[in-house]
């Protein structure tokens, strides 16, 4: 968390110094990074859901075969 705050403060200082192109480029890099992380989280959630559905189907088939 402290690391993130340092990055934000450095971005604010860069903006205050008048170098807006650098500030915008850094901000866009951060946005791209967050977007990539969110995509990865989405894929992991889908994989976990598929795994749970498969386990549920296996459980159902085992319980039916025991009857």
Half-sphere exposure of 63 (CA within 13 A, CB side): 6
Residue 30 domain-assigned (yes or no): yes
Residue 38 domain-assigned (yes or no): yes
pTM exceeds 0.85 for this model: no
Residue 41 domain-assigned (yes or no): yes
Residue 14 domain-assigned (yes or no): no
Residue 9 domain-assigned (yes or no): no
- pLDDT of 53 > 90? The answer is yes
Domain total of the chain: 1
Q: How confident is the model at residue 44 (pLDDT cuts 50, 70, 90)?
A: very high
Residue 4 domain-assigned (yes or no): no
Which H or E element spans position 65?
A: helix 20-66
Per-residue model confidence as pLDDT tens digits over 8-41: 677 666 555 567 788 888 888 888 888 899 999 9
Q: Which pair of tokens denotes residue 56? A: 């549920």
Q: What is the residue range of 57's domain?
A: 19-66
Residue 19: DSSP 8-state? -
Closest CA to 15 of 2, 27, 31: 27
Select the more confidently predicted residue: 14 or 63. Answer: 63
* Segment among 2-11, 28-37, 40-49, 56-65 with least mean pLDDT: 2-11
Residue 8 domain-assigned (yes or no): no
């Amino acid at each position: 968390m402290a690391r993130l705050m340092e990055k934000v403060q450095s971005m604010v200082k860069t903006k205050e110094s008048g170098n807006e192109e650098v500030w915008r480029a850094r901000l866009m890099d951060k946005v791209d990074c967050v977007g990539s992380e969110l995509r990865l989280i989405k894929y992991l959630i889908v994989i976990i859901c598929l795994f749970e559905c498969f386990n549920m189907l296996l459980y159902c088939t085992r319980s039916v075969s025991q009857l």
